[in-house]
Structure 1
């Protein structure tokens, strides 16, 4: 075990500088610029434990030019040539990095053969990154290629392989997407997925058909997933047409155009100035082009473009299925384009919880009516002078039938909702009091430290003031909300009219998407999938910020792969059981959320059961200070006082084994170190100690920088 008194070589100005080169992690080469730092940087020199060591060097722009790894052998440091490397950059006349090449090194650390490289090429509005890898036979071949559109969205990804025996390059996987606008900027928001999906126009995933297929022609790959959305304006109508393919992994990319068929179509009749839809007809098609289901809705708008009513019809355009009406409290109206208004009708574009009630303006009253069972409800809304909803009342009426369906009664439930706000002006909580049932339900809206809405928590109480008992989302009953009604059983089946029906549900833990089909009043089939809802991100590991051997040019994290991969549970409708049945689920999937000031990651098995949990504890400066594992063990992180500079990490396994790493820094541009020593306060002796003002110290009362025998010492 090493001594708890550690010596660190760092620059005297270190505490005054910005964060260290954390940003070098995950920096794509298309974003690297030949720009001199505006401030003198403090960068990591080395990381050292009892058995391993890494040393770094940088160029004048602050990018790493070498990483040397050492292992201890017989008490001596020996260079690990497999993991050590040097790298060089090429910049164009505008200072844009156009290439990076990494080289292997010999036992003395000198550059030898090429290890890997990456290149950037801009073609029109598309920026391409191509990454190359050197194989054991001495040849270099493509490994990954990425394309980014004008908004910075990743729209194309190609994974390559190389067969050394046959000397053949081949494509292992391909993904292509097209968006109607920027989506990456919403990645930190809880509604990122819904915003992204609303702007996704083209989605294709393809792969080779077995290990024997080797091709560099994308058109010869087999389709794994495909969806194409086309928006078209024809006269006074707007169409959204969705195209799909059948027989995935049986058709090739090159045959998509002739194999795809229109699976659905939304036809919007527009008002006179073309700014709002006044009628929508939803049609589903079979592969041979026959309409299998058709439903119509009409919309009424006021002169400010605010929604006044929605009427949904059954197959007969004169038979009302559902009706919703609105009035508004003032003259405020959101300025929405036609496409934005359609997105709002679909429930999209909700960035903060209050947006649900302000999609077009500040609602004064709303009402709903279901014709099939006679359920109806109405709500009123009260707003303050700042335009914030502060209170609401609701009433819901339904007809209940006895076991013989002859004994019916009308049941009316009514209540009040109160709303509170946080310092940023966003909803902090709502309390729903059902007066007829005499219960209280509180919804607390959760935000991260950046003020971004990340989720909700539900509580039951006995009064407006509580006390409150937290409700488990997975076991929570359907709760009343303004102008909505509870879902029916079986789960997700809430419309028994003949035809196709979509399933969209997000309860804060599970995001559910799917559809089912009703024939002659009976559910005849359907399927849905569920993904875990992560409303927070796992904190960046401070060790990885400094020690990743691909830094600073490791590829960006592929968020799409994580979200669209196989971390989902798939269900299908069992006609015999008249219920949903699990077909498949991942053996390990993660949900990340905030809880009591910490970030928590729950790991689920194939039965949607939590099997383990990781808790990430942050300090008041938002620094990760501990990871704790439910199955035992933890990692702690210690920083230099008042900075984000990691000084020490201690990993303790469940069996008690400990691994300690120490981190050493200096000024950028290889400035000679000033020799600041860092020690723990418990190990400090105050003989001949002075503060930075030259005053003698007799008792250490706080962490900080002190002068000892003419040297600066940091006490932590």
Structure 2
């Protein structure tokens, strides 16, 4: 399958775990506004265990104004001045926050010296955020600065350093970018990288040497540089890319006189200048001499600006390497500028999955042909009255030659596709049925709570209605069968001893293996493979960091590792001809496989020998909330919630030696009058005799956990 436009084309599954909420202390100040919430906010007032207490206060806009942290000493709560702070905001006449400052506190909780500060300033068409922090000499200096363009893209980043001995501030690193449109708002989009690169016009990465003291960005030295310029000349549009000579040190201030044009694309336009009809590409060396110059593509458009045909060429203009042709189901045509149309030709504007089939209009038919190997295919598309793709049919033909014979074999596969949508009108799933192979593949499109398309999950099935199995769980049955029938002394993954190079591809549901090996005269002479753990689930988010309104998140406990961004663990093996077997070249010291088992989520921890050394089991309730973590080496953590919410009421950590740490969470509804709503109390705090259950029956004392009425107020008993 070579044409991404065909309905059969299925993208690789991408399981993207949602990132934890950003700490409120780090909410971009340019987004903080003096607007009273229109609804009550459920906010955390206090976290308390036997030895630790944390108390939060807020202003009328829902932002934190103080965090007071206490430790218990001699049965008394003592303020921890290192971790406690007070926070103030400055708003301009338009209600926009222009500064946020945190202050250290004394033992009485009164603010003292400045701990950290953030300021916002609008300069031209950029909005700057600057952050300051306290250094060991008790002085505050700038630590970071970020600039945002009119679309909200971060286009400049400066990281600073400060030497307390010399009292000198310095720039450590400097990054600068420029885009042709919004990019950062799509960071969770499945195609974010291609989307970002398609709109990138300028990229600079620079730094100061270790002994360089400067606060002037022009004096920094360039590490990476790229500049793209779009220019219109006569009836043609040019995309020109510039670079720098990497063989010499160049300062930022000297970029313009040292850069040279490395390549360009010349687009010949149609009569009204709205669509490209030919693209010519050229490459240059540092002296400006042309390295190559040829026509790479030609395009045909209808009178509505929709693509009818595209041709791709090898370096000789007479050699067509690829041809694609299209017809449309109705008169609808997407409104696109010239630059947007060029981006669509490379699928650079795919914000939602259905955009693949709506690049220029609603496709009725499409076909492709590859001249090199004769592969070709055709698709038809079906649309409903709302303009949504509902399915279609496809066929693909490929020509192959059997080994040791000149007789080509032609094979044609047929299939059909069905599509479904979510409540927001975006594609929710796509099922592709290969009639020839009688195989069903289902792609589920994943979205975050903001409706951003974040990834895909792929499943194998037995029919249109399933049942569906996560891709990879079935494994490669034929490969497993070959492994089972080989002699015990045969090295694993060596199952074809004919001369030549052989690929290794196997997924047994636990290990995903890819590599190759070479055979000469019936002997394996070399090769290598890599293995990764095949996870099909994600570790649940820690509810201790999800206990408040998602728009106003609090910071996580500093002694906990909230964020984990580990690279995929890879085991690498190479063939040792002397031993006639594989040997380990590299292995991680700790790796995790996460999967579903018996209604729970399980994480197995592996060592470098691919042996499970421990297991964590995550139990979820019927509402999908994490209620227990169980550790194979002993101990567990349980979580209890306010009924009908995700607000954590209690966490109990039991160690392997049965010691316990209980932490309680207390909330109230904030509408900036007297707090109302459900309050939380512990059973051993109960002293009043005036109790009623929710049916209005008076009781002497509560006999179980739940919600009760005490003196006209709802309380939660735990």
TM category (shorter chain) comes to 0.7 to 0.9
Contact 2:667 2:679 in 1 (8 A): no
Provide the residue aligned with 2:282 in structure 1: 283
CA distance in 1 between counterparts of 2:360 and 2:598 reads 35
Structure 1 unpaired stretches of 5+: 1-20, 478-488, 492-509, 511-529, 555-560, 572-582
CA distance in 2 between counterparts of 1:226 and 1:588 reads 37
Contact 1:397 1:412 in 2 (8 A): yes
CA distance in 2 between counterparts of 1:418 and 1:60 reads 51
CA distance in 2 between counterparts of 1:253 and 1:711 reads 66
1:25-51: CA deviations, max 9, x gaps? Answer: 542222333344545655433221121
Provide the residue aligned with 2:222 in structure 1: 223
- Structure 1 position 397, deviation (Å): 2.3
SS at match of 2:242: strand
Contact 2:537 2:594 in 1 (8 A): yes
- Structure 1 position 430, deviation (Å): 3.5
RMSD: 5.0
Provide the residue aligned with 1:358 in structure 2: 358
Contact 1:585 1:606 in 2 (8 A): yes
CA distance in 2 between counterparts of 1:596 and 1:346 reads 44
Contact 1:25 1:545 in 2 (8 A): no
Provide the residue aligned with 1:46 in structure 2: 46
TM-score by length of 2: 0.73
Contact 2:547 2:647 in 1 (8 A): no
- Structure 1 position 705, deviation (Å): 3.6
1:204-225: CA deviations, max 9, x gaps? Answer: 222233x333322222223333
CA distance in 1 between counterparts of 2:354 and 2:66 reads 50
Contact 1:56 1:66 in 2 (8 A): yes
Provide the residue aligned with 1:324 in structure 2: 324
1:334-356: CA deviations, max 9, x gaps? Answer: 22222221121101222333321
In 2 relative to 1, CA 623–459 (structure 1 residues): closer, same or farther, beyond 3 Å?
closer
Q: Name which of structure 1's ranges 324-333 and 386-395 shifts more when overlaid on structure 2.
A: 386-395
Structure 2 unpaired stretches of 5+: 1-20, 478-500, 504-511, 513-531, 557-562, 573-584
SS at match of 1:332: coil
CA distance in 2 between counterparts of 1:179 and 1:130 reads 21
Provide the residue aligned with 2:582 in structure 1: none
TM-score by length of 1: 0.73
Provide the residue aligned with 2:648 in structure 1: 646
SS at match of 1:195: helix
Contact 2:42 2:549 in 1 (8 A): no
Provide the residue aligned with 1:403 in structure 2: 403
1:38-91: CA deviations, max 9, x gaps? Answer: 456554332211211122333444433322221112222222121222233333
Provide the residue aligned with 1:660 in structure 2: 662
- Structure 1 position 312, deviation (Å): 0.8
CA distance in 2 between counterparts of 1:264 and 1:74 reads 73
SS at match of 2:362: strand
Provide the residue aligned with 2:196 in structure 1: 196
Contact 2:666 2:680 in 1 (8 A): no
Provide the residue aligned with 2:490 in structure 1: none
Provide the residue aligned with 2:166 in structure 1: 166
CA distance in 1 between counterparts of 2:123 and 2:394 reads 57
Provide the residue aligned with 2:131 in structure 1: 131
- Structure 1 position 474, deviation (Å): 12
CA distance in 1 between counterparts of 2:79 and 2:248 reads 47
SS at match of 2:30: helix
Contact 1:431 1:442 in 2 (8 A): yes
Following superposition of structure 1 onto structure 2, how do residues 169-184 of structure 1 map, counting pairs within 5 Å?
169-184=169-184
Following superposition of structure 1 onto structure 2, how do residues 414-493 of structure 1 map, counting pairs within 5 Å?
414-448=414-448, 451-472=451-472
Provide the residue aligned with 1:265 in structure 2: 264
Contact 2:297 2:311 in 1 (8 A): yes
In 2 relative to 1, CA 58–229 (structure 1 residues): closer, same or farther, beyond 3 Å?
same
Contact 2:420 2:429 in 1 (8 A): yes
Provide the residue aligned with 2:117 in structure 1: 117
Contact 1:224 1:248 in 2 (8 A): no
CA distance in 2 between counterparts of 1:284 and 1:592 reads 47
Contact 1:25 1:546 in 2 (8 A): no
CA distance in 1 between counterparts of 2:463 and 2:591 reads 38
Following superposition of structure 1 onto structure 2, how do residues 246-645 of structure 1 map, counting pairs within 5 Å?
246-247=245-246, 250-293=249-292, 294-404=294-404, 406-448=406-448, 451-472=451-472, 539=541, 542-543=544-545, 636-645=638-647
CA distance in 2 between counterparts of 1:607 and 1:252 reads 48
CA distance in 2 between counterparts of 1:592 and 1:248 reads 46
Q: Is residue 100 from structure 1 mapped to residue 100 from structure 2 by the alignment? A: yes
Provide the residue aligned with 2:55 in structure 1: 55
CA distance in 2 between counterparts of 1:438 and 1:675 reads 57
CA distance in 2 between counterparts of 1:114 and 1:623 reads 39
In 2 relative to 1, CA 61–313 (structure 1 residues): closer, same or farther, beyond 3 Å?
closer
1:444-477: CA deviations, max 9, x gaps? Answer: 4344565544333333444445554432299889
Greater relative contact order structure (CA < 8 Å, 6+ sep): 1
SS at match of 1:30: helix
CA distance in 2 between counterparts of 1:608 and 1:308 reads 53
SS at match of 1:197: helix
1:148-184: CA deviations, max 9, x gaps? Answer: 1112221111111111112211112222111212223
- Structure 1 position 709, deviation (Å): 6.5
In 2 relative to 1, CA 324–490 (structure 1 residues): closer, same or farther, beyond 3 Å?
farther
In 2 relative to 1, CA 712–248 (structure 1 residues): closer, same or farther, beyond 3 Å?
farther
Q: Is residue 91 from structure 1 mapped to residue 91 from structure 2 by the alignment? A: yes
CA distance in 2 between counterparts of 1:203 and 1:692 reads 63
CA distance in 1 between counterparts of 2:546 and 2:442 reads 40
CA distance in 2 between counterparts of 1:363 and 1:300 reads 15
1:178-211: CA deviations, max 9, x gaps? Answer: 12122232234322333222222222222233x3
SS at match of 2:88: strand
- Structure 1 position 278, deviation (Å): 0.9
Provide the residue aligned with 1:18 in structure 2: none
Provide the residue aligned with 1:518 in structure 2: none
In 2 relative to 1, CA 48–436 (structure 1 residues): closer, same or farther, beyond 3 Å?
closer
CA distance in 1 between counterparts of 2:355 and 2:614 reads 35
CA distance in 1 between counterparts of 2:174 and 2:607 reads 29
In 2 relative to 1, CA 672–389 (structure 1 residues): closer, same or farther, beyond 3 Å?
closer
Q: Name which of structure 1's ranges 232-241 and 425-434 shifts more when overlaid on structure 2.
A: 425-434
SS at match of 1:198: helix
Contact 2:432 2:442 in 1 (8 A): yes
1:114-156: CA deviations, max 9, x gaps? Answer: 2222222111221112122222323321111111111222111
